[in-house]
Chain A
């Protein structure tokens, strides 16, 4: 059954801050810039915003999580002089920014607000990670004492098993990673807009946790991206072509209780999520013209491709060869460069890129099929989420 809120809400503004690696400028300034740009892009003034939604969690352990400094939460914008008219907000703890989009759709469709600002701000802390002596509480007690901490070993362990089982070679991942860098080289908002990457560079990269090499890991950035959402009837009076939210869903299925999840587990958990999105929109994955697939680590793209059914189990590494996922390929993927090359925005870069593509504003990296764009964010077993966006109201 299609979603009651299918295409009831549209994205009408997109705004990007500058993108930096490390900086002493407080993160709140980046968020202010992105918000101002998104609101201006929507042809609105800031006082029109009466709804706020974000997923603010800092992407590293040991963050001070100070509003406007290393994290931009709802409180940051509630303190803004223009925000006196805000009457609805939502701060997600799981599911990343697709959850915030879904929450905003519900609020707008229900009349809780009329114009929602949805943003994500990301911060790179000074110094090196993990220099403080530590204890390991909770489930970390069963992993951190063995040097298994943070996301890297978890993804490396899953990817190793995937390669061993599928007979894939890690060298083949160069096709995807280099293609995404080509896309970033055509995206002015990418941190690697001016840095090329060749197959040779990939082959020579240092190993981080085999089979993951440096270029399989996303690039931390300090930046913010914001979207403005409003109801479809209001959207039609605004200057930019509306991009409709045709579906928005979260991974909610039961997960087996385990210390570790394999790529297959992610595919198992991702399938019902993608199925829900397609049912909500009344579309099939064959109708998707481009896909923005979360790539905190390059192998994440593989499990999303398989979960969506773009290829069979264990086939994704073959699927990304021969330009199939290039901008002019059969299924353009991560056309803005993704987290690997645009920068680690925890899915907000993927969302914004989908909007830019459906508007036809992507310049040299514009895809031909501007009908529907699929955005899948996070890891399915870790409560990832997704949205399906369309250029026309369904």
Chain B
């Protein structure tokens, strides 16, 4: 496991701070599992985690998801303003992906530089980056050979 391509030794990614609501997401990531909240009452998935279901007010529970997604949008950010990141490092491709489980169920990821991306591209999760001692789920174009969980 490495710090991933955007943390090339010149800086460290900001470290996620789990709280009472989000802790299970980060605990699962350490085990190479992607989990997302799903309402026990109405079945709606939601992310980021909240104390109650934002659709019906019910009780959300973390549920394993497939890790398959499609590309919603992306940008190549030059010197993004991120705490701890000095200027002058290579640009970074930031993406929003939609998990296949539900429309609007979106996660953010940086993506390895690649010639061409298109809205709707198939993406797949891998756990190949860290921030401090926290493992980060990251998404890769599904065609790429990513070292994700098999």
Which B residues between 5 and 44 are near A, CB-CB below 8 angstroms?
A: 6, 12-19, 22, 26
Shortest C-beta distance, A127 to chain B (Å), equals 12
CB-CB under 8 A from B64, the residues of chain A are none
Residues of B within 8 A of A131 (CB): 84, 86
Query: Given A153-B80, A156-B77, does the pair A258, B14 have CB atoms closer than 8 Å?
Result: no
B132 to chain A, nearest CB (A): 8
Residues of A within 8 A of B86 (CB): 131
CB pair B14 A210 closer than 8 Å: no
Whole-angstrom distance between the Cβ of A141 and the nearest chain B Cβ: 4
Chain B nearest CB, measured from A282 CB (Å): 36
Q: Decide yes or no whether B146 CB sits under 8 A from chain A.
A: no
Q: How far is the CA of A132 from the CA of B18 in the complex (A)?
A: 20
B82 x A147 contact (CB < 8 A): yes
Closest B residue by C-beta to A62: B83
Interface bits A126-164 vs B (CB < 8 Å: 1, else 0): 001111111111111111111111101100111011001
A136 with B17: CB separation less than 8 A: yes
Give Cα A196 to B50, complex, Å.
48
Which residue of chain B has its CB nearest to the CB of A210?
B76
Count class of interface residues, chain A: 35 or more
B77 lies within 8 A of A152 (CB): yes
Report yes or no: B47 in contact with A145, Cβ–Cβ below 8 A. Answer: no
A160–B106 touching, CB < 8 Å: no
Taking a contact as CB atoms under 8 Å apart, the answer to whether B85 and A136 are in contact is: no
Would you call A236 an interface residue if the criterion is a C-beta within 8 Å of the partner chain's C-beta atoms? no
The answer to whether B76 touches A130, judged by C-beta atoms less than 8 angstroms apart, is no
Residue from the list B16, B118, B119 in contact with A145, Cβ < 8 A: B16
Compute how far the CA of A260 lies from the CA of B96 in the bound complex, rounded to whole angstroms: 8
CB nearest to A132 among chain B residues: B83
In the complex, per-residue mask of A58-86: 1 if CB is within 8 Å of any chain B CB, else 0: 00010000000000000000000000000
Residues of B near A257 (CB, < 8 A) are: 46, 50, 54-55
What 1/0 mask marks residues of chain B from 93 to 129 whose CB sits below 8 Å from any chain A CB? 0111000000010111110000000110000000001
What is the interface size of chain B, counting residues whose CB is below 8 A from a CB of the partner?
49
Instruction: List, sorted by A's number, 20 A–B pairs whose CB atoms are closer than 8 Å.
Output: A130-B81, A130-B83, A133-B12, A133-B14, A137-B19, A141-B16, A142-B48, A146-B108, A147-B82, A148-B80, A148-B94, A150-B81, A152-B81, A153-B94, A156-B94, A157-B75, A164-B73, A206-B78, A256-B54, A257-B55
A141-B17, A142-B107, A256-B104 known, 7 other contacts, Cβ within 8 Å: A146-B110, A157-B74, A157-B75, A161-B73, A210-B76, A259-B48, A260-B108
Does A172 reach chain B (CB closer than 8 Å)?
Answer: no
The answer on a CB contact under 8 Å between A207 and B78 is: yes
Minimum C-beta distance from A382 to chain B (A)? 16
B136–A147 CB distance below 8 A: no
Find chain B residues with CB under 8 A from A206 CB. 78
The answer to whether A128 touches B87, judged by C-beta atoms less than 8 angstroms apart, is: yes
In the complex the two chains form, is A133's CB within 8 Å of B92's CB?
no
B140 at the A/B interface (Cβ < 8 Å)?
A: no
* Cα-based distance from A136 to B18 in the complex (angstroms): 9
Are the C-beta atoms of B94 and A147 separated by less than 8 Å?
Answer: yes
Check A209 against B15 for contact (C-beta < 8 Å).
no
Q: Which residue of A lies closest to B136 (CB)?
A: A145
> Which residues of the other chain, A, contact B77 by a CB distance below 8 angstroms?
147, 152-153, 156, 208-209
Cβ of A212: which chain B residues have Cβ within 8 Å of it? 75
Give the one of A146, A207, A259 with max B CB within 10 A: A146
